[in-house]
Structure 1
Amino acid sequence: MVTKVNTTVKIGSLILKNQVMPASGAFGIEMKDAIDFNLLSAIVPKSITKFPQAGNAKPRICETSAGILNSIGIQSKGISYYLTDIIPSFKPYDVPLIASISAESIEEFVEMADVLGNHDEVAALELNISCPNLKGDGKAFGMDATVTFELISQVRKVTKVPLIAKLTPNVTSIQDIAIAAEKAGADALNVANTMLAMAIDVDTRKPLIGNVMGGLSGPAVKPIIIRMIYQVAQVSSLPIIGCGGVMTGRDALEMIIAGASAVQVGTASFIQPTALTDILAEIESYLIEHEIEDIHDLIGSVVV
């Protein structure tokens, strides 16, 4: 009978002790009173921008059928605050910190990566290429394979830490973007950011969020993300971090079986603050129950 399982996976040179980490934007130091951060595979604070940003117009979040619609707008206090306050606040925990970067141009991505990617306390960078490229008519970097390749290639030149490309699901072929990211030197792929969506108050006929459209997360998007994980796993050899709709351990396992090496949890933590560690425990229980000694025997094991 299996009593101990190996859940260790690698992302470039970064070793993750298990499959569960928070999604950027849905996690902060305030959660230390709810869960033990040392149990997580990594810590991923909210995406950071170079300069302070106020965020989008309010209201910024609303509930939808089986999900949450948000348009926060990457509210940020800037990279200086990140260096002096955010990074030190997580230093007491024996868990790698993954810095999520959001920028307005390739040059700005490179500049921020040069700072954060060479900081002793930053174990890896998550490149939020789902954000709009202000030099490319506002189209997200990750919507164009050529731009994705150029961005990651340039960032790769200034840092040796593992690079995780956070892909957008708002594309015709996520496989093309994944291939471009891998060729450019990415070490892993985050599949994926939120899906562009909209909700309307039928009484006022006004959008429910101030920015009109926003990103949909939660259970509603999970089957789409599962499909994308499976598709990306067919064309890329990079580790995949599944993100979108993980509410339970079984949701996470579904992503792992589809091809993900790890998962990020976001919306679930708003509903249940202990979701991250609850999901972690459910995964381990499943492995023991099904006598799976090594998580690698489960990754990408879907039978088609």
Structure 2
Amino acid sequence: MSVDMRTFLAHVELANPVTTAAGCAGSGRELAQFFDLHRLGALVTRSITMAPRAGRPTPRMAETPSGMLNAVGLQGPGIDAFLERELPWLAQRGIRTVVSVGGGTVAEYSALARRLTDAPGVTAVEVNLACPNIEDRGRVFARDGGAAAEVIASVRSVMRYDVPVVAKLSPDVADVVAVARACVDAGADALSMINNPLGMSIDVDALRPTLAAGTGGLSGPAILPLAVRCVWQVHAAIPGVPIVGVGGVTSGHDALQLILAGACVVGVGTALFHDPYACLRIERELEELLQAKGFHRLADAVGLAHRPTARHLLVDSEESSL
């Protein structure tokens, strides 16, 4: 018997829970040469900014044990080119598209939302809060609940009511639950976690940092336990809020960890760099795991690890399938 893999991102139904992660699939054309993008739960674009950005100087990517550091710097063509060329390409094909946005001021986020609110083809907007606030000494929005809430409120106030606003959170905070709650109170319809934690490596031959920027975002399998922890804590505190679990997912087993912790959607990022079919493989593996454990619906597994009876339910279902 097949498993019903449908899920919801706020009120928007997705055929399955597996999406790309922002920045790891461009704006769709790159992956489209490998498979039909309709097979994704949704495609999440790279973070779009108001003006074009060339990104940071090279070297800006480096391998690490079980992961990767990057300091690309939101490279992209800007909102005008995105609305002229990239979003229409996705909209014409009916691809569910979550548009990630990034800015340096609250006004910039608001302006981006205003440009997107009437654009066809926008399934949801993901607000990348891991951007420096140039009006507050470069402090990252995601590290302060008040600053993050101000951004979310500004986006929600101009975005169409039928387009969910998703706040993407950073693990580099003292209390991720407090920031999550502030975003929800400000109008976030869903939460995405985690954005890349900051990391650094040193080139011991050159005797200097590996990345030109010094620090960079750490991604890959190394951060999965961090993502599971954040999803677990936030779901426990705010169980009614949809969560997109992102960070280090390379298999259906990884995806199931995030779902049992409380995520109803799972993003795949770094794995796409060496396996463009990763999303399809992970979705298949996840369905096979759920089926083997006796689940008829994906929704029944969301947050199940929080329930004291979960262990008995899984044991009973596995014994019944023998």
TM bucket (normalised to shorter chain) is over 0.9
Q: Does 1:74 align with 2:74?
A: yes
**Matched position secondary structure for 1:62:** strand
Residue 188 (structure 2) pairs with residue 186 (structure 1): yes
Is 1:290 matched with 2:314? no
Q: Which residue of 2 aligns with 1:155?
A: 155
List aligned pairs for 1:1-304, cutoff 5 A.
3-28=1-26, 29-159=29-159, 160=161, 161-236=163-238, 237-302=240-305
Contact 2:9 2:265 in 1 (8 A): no
For the residues of structure 2 that align with 1:15 and 1:181, how far apart are their CA atoms? 22
Secondary structure of the structure 1 residue equivalent to 2:249: coil
Contact kept, 8 Å, 2:142 with 2:148, in 1: the verdict is yes
Q: CA deviation at 1:101?
A: 0.3
The question of whether the paired residues in 2 share the 8 Å contact of 1:117 and 1:124 is answered with no
Structure 2 spans left out of the alignment, 5+ residues: 309-322
Quote how far apart the aligned CAs of 1:116 are: 0.8
Structure 1: distance between partners of 2:227 and 2:277: 23
| SS of aligned partner of 1:268 | helix
For the residues of structure 1 that align with 2:118 and 2:3, how far apart are their CA atoms? 33
In the alignment, residue 256 of structure 1 is paired with which amino acid?
I
Deviation above 6 Å: which 4+ runs of structure 1?
none
Q: Distance in 2 between matches of 1:135 and 1:143?
A: 15
Does the CA contact (< 8 Å) of 2:69 and 2:200 recur in 1? yes
Partner secondary structure for residue 227 of structure 2: helix
Q: For residues 169 and 82 of structure 2, what CA distance do their matches in structure 1 show?
A: 23
Structure 1 segments unaligned to the other structure (5+ residues): none
Which AA in structure 2 matches 1:249?
A: G
Q: TM-score of the superposition, structure 1-length normalised?
A: 0.97
Q: Cα distance, 1:263 vs. partner?
A: 0.7
Instruction: Report if aligned partners of 2:91, 2:120 keep a CA contact under 8 Å in 1.
Output: no
Do 2:50 and 2:78's aligned partners in 1 also have CA atoms closer than 8 Å? Answer: yes
Q: Secondary structure at the match of 1:99?
A: strand
Structure 1 residue 63, shift from structure 2 partner: 0.2
- Superposition CA RMSD, Å: 1.2
What is the CA–CA distance in structure 2 between the aligned matches of 1:118 and 1:88, rounded to whole Å?
13
Shift of 1:88: 1.8
Aligned positions, number: 302
What's the offset of the Cα at 1:92?
4.1
Residue in 1 that maps onto 2:315: none
